[in-house]
Structure 1
Amino acid sequence: RVQTNWPLQINLPIGSHTPLWCTASGKLYLASLPPEQLERVLLRLPIQQMARNTLTDLSALRDDLARVREEDMGTDSEEFIDGMVACAVPVRDAQGRLLACLFSHAPVIRCSMEQLLGFVPRLRAAAKELESIVGG
């Protein structure tokens, strides 16, 4: 974990519990599930509005998860916390299963979603390095 030294920070301590349906890593995890399992999980999630852009309509969330699956990258554009953007890329094991998510988040006052997405190639490269370390 790398924390910025800027005075304005979003503090999500290691071990924080965050909702699957509105976080970049959570959506990446959901998109990795087989369709039948995903549907079972979606129907049991306590989906609620967390921030101004939270997707609470299951159809819209399913569409977003299809995009996440296609792009192999999760995003959160003020869906979990108003004023925060995030993106996440997968770290996979040797069988291609999701092992972990490598993510970055920032306050929108300092970094737009477009700017944050500019770091995705570096995140993907770091994820590949992590995969080689764990035998992915």
Structure 2
Amino acid sequence: MLKKYLIVSKKILPDVYDKVIEARNLINNGSVKGISEAVKIVGISRSTYYKYKDYVFSPDENSIGRKAVISMMLRHEKGILSSVLNYMSQENVNILTINQSIPINGKASVNLSLDISDIGKPIDDIIADLKKLKGVSSVKLLSVE
């Protein structure tokens, strides 16, 4: 099914596509009373709106890069995992799953699957900050969806 779609930079597309999306957003968020008012504001005809409204979409910020998996090596000491989880909470990271191995030689492997749709900074910065936390030996970003 995805073979029917393309991701294209809007720099090469006519402005009309962007205006259809803008009109739809005005309608959906209640800024206008109806389609006629929306198309008038954005500067397209009603027929143009109806022609493209079901075929032109803008990727939602939350639809790209919403999930990530990281792997960490933590020292086996009280509070280290807790400090990692507290940091994640401060950065608006929602933890979906936690898998922790039994500590061997004073270290435990921890894998976290994350919902990163609400983070306020790049995931690379979060990884770098995690590496600086006390008791965190290593952090690797395994995947991002």
Higher relative strand content: 2
Give the number of the structure whose alpha-carbon radius of gyration is greater: 2
For normalisation by structure 2, the TM-score amounts to: 0.23
For normalisation by structure 1, the TM-score amounts to: 0.24
